[in-house]
Amino acid sequence: MEPRRPNFSSQSERAESLQEILAERILILDGATGTWIQGQDLSAADFGGEEYEGCNEHLVLTRPDVVLAMHSEYLAAGADMVETDTFGGTPLVLAEYGLAEKAFEINEQAARLAR
């Protein structure tokens, strides 16, 4: 089943719609990103090499198909919303992998995939 994707022209329309829905019912958020990713048996190559292994945020660049599959599975399971794959998407955390300068690119791509 293909998730429904409302088409809003502005952030204010999205926020207004969210407020209206929240006034009617509780929304279900997706599950644990890290746990889901760990269950995929990914290799160092999936992360972009050994130096990036374990950097789940880097997967939005190296394996966007995996991240999209995760979002799709959570939506198919009944989630109303999904979060971005950016738990450690700050320059400080990404610096541990030498990716601090890619923080904006990673976060932007993660938002695109989640949306």
pLDDT for the residue 73: 96
Task: Give the tens place of pLDDT for each residue, 19-67.
Answer: 999 999 999 999 999 999 999 999 999 999 999 999 999 999 999 999 9
pTM: 0.85
Structure tokens at 45: 């190559």
Are the C-beta atoms of 48 and 58 separated by less than 8 Å? yes
**Rounded to whole angstroms, what are the CA distances from 20 to 4, 7, 15, 39, 80?**
17, 16, 9, 35, 14
- The yes-or-no verdict on residue 2 having pLDDT over 70 is no
Compute the residue count for the chain: 115
Pair 59, 109: CB distance under 8 Å: no
Residue 88 DSSP symbol:
T
Model confidence band, residue 8 (pLDDT cutoffs 50, 70, 90): low
- Cα separation of 43 and 79, whole Å? 28
Q: Domain ranges in the chain? A: 28-114
Whether the pLDDT of residue 7 is over 80: the answer is no
Alpha-carbon gap, residue 37 to 32, rounded angstroms: 9
